[in-house]
Amino acid sequence: MARTTVNIDQAALDGAREALGTDGTSATVNAALRETARRRALEGFDVLRDIDGTPGEVEEGREARHRLLTL
């Protein structure tokens, strides 16, 4: 994990900490980054393809979302 110095809006951090149920700055920032990536991955979620699609279509959707989540 990289160590980085950043300026953080304290009110935004406090709000994120409360919303995410985290303790500490690092845990909150990391959880917020993961949540942002998760939401982005779900933007491309397609019920017809990803649930009712063919096995190949479902796998393709899972792989695309996994790539976004592991950025």
pLDDT tens for each residue of 42-57: 776 777 776 777 888 8
**Tokens found for residue 67:** 């790539």
First to last CA, the chain: 13
Q: In sequence order, which residues have a C-beta less than 8 Å from that of residue 29 and are 6 or more positions away?
A: 8, 13, 16
Per the document, the length of the chain is 71
Answer whether 22's CB lies under 8 Å from 14's CB: no
Q: Is the pLDDT of residue 12 over 70?
A: yes
- The span from the CA of 21 to the CA of 1, in Å, is 22
pLDDT value of residue 16: 97
Q: Which has more pLDDT, 18 or 54?
A: 18
pLDDT category of residue 59 using cuts at 50, 70 and 90:
confident
**Tell me, what's the pLDDT at 11?**
97
